[in-house]
């Protein structure tokens, strides 16, 4: 069962306009899923992670309803059919 | 074989023949479609092991699914014949197109981008082409590129390369191919990378070399490395630089080709997607220059719709205004009485730095944009209608640095004699340089590795390298200002740096005059007297008359010696503008009065300039890069406030007017006078308002001074 990324508005321009992107390669971790996403949509990488591979500070990623900052970040295990949401954090001015 | 069945494919006609085998058009009897079938010659795969390897690699390549890659449907064997079934492509190989001569630049870029996309896709799946050449790039009548034979070169016997010899002959190079068998050198000689010639294993960067050769070939109609014999060609590949491309080729494209053709793989682009992005940036610049609306070029160019743009012409004055929520561009005729506003560009993004580059006949705006989604450097060649939007961050720390970019605080153009050179000052404090007009950037290691760096401390705004100054007289010398690290100077183009802070106070440190660690807010110099520097410190105004070796206080009679902005007069090296702010936690204009202060005697005394500025209840802040001059005569002086007001004076500060209010907080202001200078007000004046000179920090080379009007 493919996993699905929900793409936020500001990133859709780098994902051929898609709101959802399905990854069919059955990644077992979130890191693998993102590598697959970055292969499809290379411009997304530098917009989500820094040069040191850290998730950008004001961006949250949820697997289902769990924020990955509390589940092992990119090592978070994925079940088939997982839904991954990328959301900007509530911050700024 | 015509009419015969190979598996369930009926051979219809012969399409071509090469060393690798014969290509037929065939009919898939099951799916009822036309396909191409390449029947490999028996000499191609002489050994059983080689055949197995070929099958294995062809299977891997068959997993590639990309619009710019010729799809492999099947690899099979029937009656001892090994065959590859692939997508039938109607079109011509690039080698045949280029045999007629060089291609138009637009075609070079259009095809190059597609080849780069194909490579990026295959490399992401660990498949290296190993024999990229113009003969392997098919172009359909619609202009779609299809790259053939991915990964097939690796285990093939030498004879397959017979095909390439013909390609070379058709180009008239007279060269020959050098080939070996399994495990040895593989590829087509004029396209082979130095490392492959040295017998090393090809990797994805060898394909980037091949792409460089194809780009060169399509741009010029010639191969970059030629010789009468294979030995001469190999020698050229290993040791010589490619001759420059014809003059009509954009400098950006030539820079890309040169980087692809770096002898050492680590000096090349490390990913094909980087080449793609760089080509697309040149493409968007070319299209914009040709007057296109910039539509439909994908996400690599932003087209600002529903935004008013400016029609700019020679003689206009532009104000570039960066705010916390986007960039604005204002335009006025040279009398500077009425301003038209365009923008906001980069809606919602913080614009920490803007620049105008008019060197070498360009009209290029630069902007650093910052959001949750990272910091990027963008450029526009049509005064803001379209902007580049890089796939990858163009300024970024190498991985071994263990740090990541937060903001680009300053975009600084190189000297007029180095029109391709640019610098960026960033947070965390570091300097980046580009020598290809901003296409690619590298960290200035000499400063990054300075032993003081771990002890620089961030101020309230972060640890930023915010000011870069180039000595116009001595090209090896430059200065940077870091908050809070102090002033550093190099005498060897950035190789080594020395702290230059003697006499500058650091109120917030136990030792008040340390070697480094000062919180410098702004540093300026005048080209006509480059040994003299002025400095607005976090508390303290200073002047140095010896290139920063020593500093003396010049806080003579200002209401506060704290402030951020400092501006050099475009012609008078004794004249400096500041905008004092109350120190401590208040950080607003003292007494609610918005006052610019000016010295005309190099800091011996300061006079307030207030006519037209609010003098009651004006609790304003003006940031370090938010004051600029247009360099005209009389000089226009402009500044923006954190409350979103933009003020200007067209008589050097005597009278002020509000130009615009209601902006988001203003971070930076740059002013540009475009085109030829206006008629001089008096003899010799205005000479330095030359075409293409950004004004903000008076980068122009004024060669004269006004008479001094104050006491020293």
Q: In this predicted structure, what is the pLDDT of residue B289? A: 43
Q: Name B57's Cβ contacts closer than 8 Å, sequence gap at least 6.
A: B151, B152, B154, B155
**Cβ atoms of B356 and B320 closer than 8 Å:** yes
Q: What pLDDT score does B45 carry?
A: 57
DSSP letter string over B211-252? HHHHHHHHHHSS-SS--SSHHHHHHHHHHPPPPPPPTTS-HH
Q: Which residue has the higher pLDDT, A9 or B171?
A: A9
Given this model, what pLDDT does residue B459 score?
A: 77
Quick check: B299 pLDDT over 90? no
Does residue B712 belong to any structural domain of this protein? no
User: Same structural domain for residues B218 and B126?
Assistant: yes
Mean pLDDT computed over A13-21: 84
Higher pLDDT, B391 or B328: B328
Residue B252 shares a structural domain with residue B180: yes
How far is Cα A11 from Cα B435, in angstroms, rounded to an integer?
Answer: 31
Domain assignment of residue B587, yes or no:
yes
To the nearest whole angstrom, how far is the Cα of A57 from the nearest Cα of chain B? 7
How does pLDDT run across B23-55, given as a tens digit for each residue? 889 998 888 888 988 887 665 555 555 567 667
Mutate to test the interface with B, among A16, A40, A46, A92 (most CBs of B within 10 A): A46
| Segment holding B579, helix H or strand E | strand B576-581
Q: Do A51 and B374 touch (CB under 8 A)?
A: no
Question: From the list A54, A56, A92, which residue is nearest B373 (CB)?
Answer: A56
Last residue of one domain, picked from the residues B70, B86, B102: B86
C-alpha B689 chain-centroid distance: 26
Least confident of B89-93, B98-102, B267-271, B304-308: B304-308
* B399-429 residue pLDDT tens: 899 999 999 999 999 998 888 999 999 999 9
Inter-chain touch B372–A39, beta carbons under 8 Å = no
* Residue after which a domain boundary falls, among B251, B286, B321: B286
At residue B207 the predicted structure's pLDDT band, cuts being 50, 70 and 90, is very high
B101 plus B219 within the same structural domain: yes
Q: B518 with B658, same domain?
A: yes
pLDDT digits (tens, 9 = 90+) for B573-582: 999 999 999 9
Q: Are residues B123 and B152 in the same domain?
A: yes
Q: Is the pLDDT of residue A65 over 60?
A: yes
In a domain, B242, yes or no: yes
State the pLDDT at residue B666.
98
Residue B173: per-residue pLDDT: 32
Chain A: residue whose CA lies nearest to B120: A39
**What's the rounded mean pLDDT across residues B294-317?**
64
> Using an 8 Å Cβ cutoff, are B223 and B217 in contact?
yes
Predicted local distance difference test score (pLDDT) of residue B154: 56
Predicted confidence at residue B321, as pLDDT, reads 98
- Residue B530 falls inside a structural domain: yes
Of B372, B401, B402, the CB nearest to A56: B372
Asked if the structure places residue B240 within a domain, the reply is yes
The residue whose two tokens read 């002013």 is: B671
pLDDT score for B48 = 58
Top CATH class of A3-88 equals alpha beta
- CA-CA distance, A3 to A28, in Å (whole number)? 10
Could you tell me if B565 and B624 are in contact, meaning their C-beta atoms sit under 8 angstroms apart?
yes
Enumerate the residues of chain A whose CB falls inside 8 A of the CB of residue B296: none
CB-based contact A39 B299, cutoff 8 Å: no
What's the pLDDT band for B15 if we cut at 50, 70, 90? confident
Distance CA B623, CA B641 (A): 7
When pLDDT is averaged across residues B630-643 and rounded to a whole number, the result is 96
Q: Which residues of A fall within a CB distance of 8 Å from B121?
A: 39
Closest-approach residue (CA) in chain A for B273 = A42
Question: Are both B29 and B102 inside the same structural domain?
Answer: no
Is B698 within the bounds of a domain?
no
CA B703 and chain centroid, separation: 31
pLDDT at B660 over 70: yes
Most confident of A21-30, B92-101, B517-526, B692-701: B517-526
Look at the block and give the residue holding tokens 């004092």. Answer: B580
Instruction: Tokens for B318, please give them.
Output: 């532009």
What's the confidence (pLDDT) of residue B293?
Answer: 31
- pLDDT score recorded for residue B610: 97
Q: Would you report the helix, strand and coil content of chain A in percent, each value rounded to 5?
A: 30, 25, 45
How does residue B183 score in pLDDT terms, banded at 50, 70 and 90?
very low
Report the residue of chain B nearest A59, measured CA to CA: B372
Mean pLDDT of chain B: 84
Beta-carbon separation of B124 and A39 below 8 A: yes
- The string of pLDDT tens digits covering residues B126-150 is 888 888 999 989 998 878 899 988 7
Are residues B502 and B574 both part of a single domain? Answer: yes
Highest average pLDDT, of B197-206, B237-246, B585-594, B599-608, comes from: B599-608
B141: domain CATH number? 1.10.510.10
Number of domains in chain B: 3
B278 and B308 share one domain:
no
pLDDT digits (tens, 9 = 90+) for B66-104: 889 988 888 887 777 788 888 888 888 999 988 878 888
Distance from CA of B275 to the nearest CA of A (A): 13
Please report which confidence band the pLDDT of residue B290 belongs to, taking 50, 70 and 90 as the band edges: very low
- pLDDT of B306 reads 60
Specify the CATH number for the domain of residue B425. 2.130.10.10
Residues B306 and B264 reside in one and the same domain: no
Q: What angle do CA B488, B521, B449 make, to 5 degrees?
A: 30
Residues B264 and B329 reside in one and the same domain: no
Tell me if residue B159 falls in helix, strand or coil.
Answer: helix
Three-state secondary structure call for residue B515: coil
Among B44, B63, B86, identify where a domain stops: B86
Cβ atoms of residues B2 and B12 within 8 Å: yes
To the nearest whole angstrom, how far is the Cα of A90 from the nearest Cα of chain B? 11
- Name B179's Cβ contacts closer than 8 Å, sequence gap at least 6: B158, B161, B185, B186, B187, B189
**Minimum-distance CB partner of A42 among B371, B391, B405:** B391
pLDDT of residue B697: 35
Q: State the complex-level ipTM.
A: 0.91
**Which positions in chain B touch A87 (Cβ < 8 Å)?**
none
Predicted local confidence at residue B47, as pLDDT: 57
Compare CB distances from B393 to A13, A14, A46 and report the shortest one's residue. A46
Q: Does residue B168 register a pLDDT over 50? A: no
B173 and B296 together in one domain:
no
E strand or H helix that includes residue B308 = none
B433 CA: distance to closest CA in chain A (Å): 18
Cis upstream peptide for B428 (omega within 30°)? yes
- pLDDT score of B600: 97
Short-list B573, B579, B473, B562, CA closest to B519: B562
* Residues in A touching B278 (Cβ below 8 Å): none
Q: Which tens digits make up the pLDDT trace of B670-700?
A: 999 997 544 444 433 333 333 333 343 333 3
Judged by CB atoms closer than 8 Å, whether chains meet at A56 and B391 is answered as no
Q: In terms of C-beta density within 10 A (0-12 exposed, 13-18 middle, 19 or more buried), how is residue B184 classed?
A: exposed
- Specify whether B487 is located in the same domain as B575: yes
Burial (CB count within 10 angstroms: exposed 0-12, middle 13-18, buried 19+), residue B55: middle
pLDDT in tens, B433-459: 999 999 899 999 999 999 999 999 987
Based on DSSP, count helices (H) and strands (E) in chain A, helices before strands: 3, 5
Containing domain of residue B268, as a range? 92-286
For residue B9, pLDDT beyond 80 = yes
Annotated catalytic residues of B are: 131
Residues forming a β-bridge with A62 = A67, A85
Q: What is the pLDDT of residue A91?
A: 58
Residue B663's pLDDT band (cuts 50, 70, 90): very high
- Inter-chain contacts counted by CB atoms under 8 A, chains A and B: 53
Asked if the structure places residue B603 within a domain, the reply is yes
- Helices B204-220 and B105-124: angle between axes, nearest 10 degrees: 170
- B363 within some domain: yes
Per residue in B331-367, pLDDT (tens digit) is 999 899 999 999 899 988 999 999 999 988 888 999 9
- When scoring B119, B275, B369, B373 by the number of chain A Cβ atoms within 10 A, the one with the most, hence best to mutate, is B373
Min Cα–Cα distance to chain A from B473, Å: 37
pTM: 0.62
B389: closest chain A residue by CA: A43
């Amino acid at each position: 069962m493919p996993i699905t990324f929900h793409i936020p508005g500001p990133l859709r321009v780098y994902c051929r306009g898609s709101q959802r992107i399905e990854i069919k390669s059955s990644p077992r971790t979130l890191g693998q899923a993102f590598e697959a996403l970055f292969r499809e949509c290379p411009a997304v990488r530098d917009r989500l992670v820094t040069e040191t591979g850290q998730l950008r500070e004001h961006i949250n990623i949820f697997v289902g309803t769990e924020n990955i900052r509390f589940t092992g970040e990119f090592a978070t295990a994925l079940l088939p059919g997982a839904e991954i949401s990328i959301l900007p954090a509530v911050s700024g001015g | 074989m015509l009419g015969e069945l190979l598996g369930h494919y009926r051979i219809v006609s012969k399409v071509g023949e090469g060393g690798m085998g014969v290509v037929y058009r065939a009919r898939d009897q099951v799916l009822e479609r036309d396909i191409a079938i390449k029947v490999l010659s028996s000499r191609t795969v002489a050994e059983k092991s080689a055949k197995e390897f070929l099958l294995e690699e062809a299977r891997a390549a068959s997993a590639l699914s990309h619009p710019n890659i010729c799809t492999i449907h099947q690899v099979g064997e029937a009656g001892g014949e090994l065959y590859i079934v692939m997508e039938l492509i109607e079109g011509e190989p690039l080698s045949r197109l280029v045999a007629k001569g060089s291609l138009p630049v637009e075609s070079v870029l259009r095809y190059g981008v597609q080849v780069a996309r194909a490579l990026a896709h295959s490399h992401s799946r660990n498949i290296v082409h190993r024999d990229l050449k113009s003969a392997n790039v098919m172009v359909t009548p619609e202009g779609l590129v299809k790259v053939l034979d991915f990964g097939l070169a690796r285990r093939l016997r030498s004879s397959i390369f017979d095909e390439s010899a013909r390609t070379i002959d058709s180009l008239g190079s007279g060269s020959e191919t050098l080939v070996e068998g399994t495990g040895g050198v593989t590829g087509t000689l004029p396209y082979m990378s130095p490392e492959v010639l040295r017998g090393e294993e090809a990797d994805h960067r060898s394909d980037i070399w091949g792409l460089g050769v194809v780009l060169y070939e399509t741009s010029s109609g010639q191969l970059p490395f030629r010789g009468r014999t294979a030995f001469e060609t190999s020698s050229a590949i290993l040791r010589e630089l490619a001759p420059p491309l014809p003059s009509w080729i954009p400098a950006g494209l030539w820079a890309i080709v040169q980087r692809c053709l770096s002898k050492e793989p680590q000096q090349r682009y490390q990913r094909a997607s980087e080449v793609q992005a760089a080509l697309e940036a040149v493409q968007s610049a070319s299209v914009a220059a040709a007057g296109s609306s910039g539509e439909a070029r994908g996400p690599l160019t932003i087209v600002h719709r529903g935004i008013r743009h400016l029609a700019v012409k020679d003689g206009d004055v532009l104000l570039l205004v960066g705010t916390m929520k986007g960039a604005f561009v204002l335009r006025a005729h040279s009398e500077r009485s009425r301003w038209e506003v365009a923008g906001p560009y980069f809606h919602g993004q913080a614009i920490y730095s803007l620049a105008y580059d008019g060197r070498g006949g360009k009209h290029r705006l630069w902007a650093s944009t910052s959001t949750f989604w990272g910091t990027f450097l963008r450029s526009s060649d049509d005064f803001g209608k379209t902007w580049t939007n890089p796939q990858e961050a163009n300024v970024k720390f190498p991985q071994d640095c263990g740090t990541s970019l937060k903001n680009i605080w300053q975009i600084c153009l190189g000297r007029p004699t180095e029109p391709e050179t640019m610098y960026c000052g960033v947070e965390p404090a570091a300097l980046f340089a580009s020598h290809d007009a901003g296409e690619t950037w590298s960290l200035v290691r000499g400063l990054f590795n300075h032993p003081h760096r771990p002890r620089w401390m961030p101020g309230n705004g972060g640890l930023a390298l915010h000011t870069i100054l180039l000595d116009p007289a001595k090209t090896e010398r430059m200065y940077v200002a870091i908050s809070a690290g102090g002033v550093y100077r190099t005498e060897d183009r950035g190789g080594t740096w020395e702290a230059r802070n003697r006499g500058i106070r650091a109120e917030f440190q136990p030792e008040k005059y340390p070697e480094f660690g000062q919180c410098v807010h702004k540093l300026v110099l005048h080209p006509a007297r480059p040994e003299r520097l002025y400095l607005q410190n976090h508390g303290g105004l200073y002047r140095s008359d010896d290139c920063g070796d020593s500093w003396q206080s010049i806080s003579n009679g200002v209401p506060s010696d704290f402030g951020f902005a400092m501006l050099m007069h475009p012609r008078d090296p004794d004249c400096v503008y500041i905008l004092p702010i109350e120190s401590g936690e208040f950080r607003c204009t003292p007494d609610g009065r918005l006052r610019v202060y000016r010295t005309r005697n190099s800091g011996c005394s300061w006079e307030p300039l207030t006519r037209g500025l609010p003098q009651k209840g004006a609790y304003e802040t003006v940031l370090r890069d938010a004051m600029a001059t247009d360099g005209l005569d009389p000089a226009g002086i402009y500044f923006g406030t954190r409350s979103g007001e933009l003020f200007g004076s067209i008589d050097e500060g005597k009278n002020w007017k509000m130009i615009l209010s209601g902006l988001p907080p203003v971070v930076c202001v740059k002013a540009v006078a475009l085109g030829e200078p206006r008629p001089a007000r008096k003899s010799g004046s205005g000479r330095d308002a030359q075409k293409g000179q950004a004004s903000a920090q008076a980068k122009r080379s004024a060669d004269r001074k006004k008479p001094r009007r104050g006491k020293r």
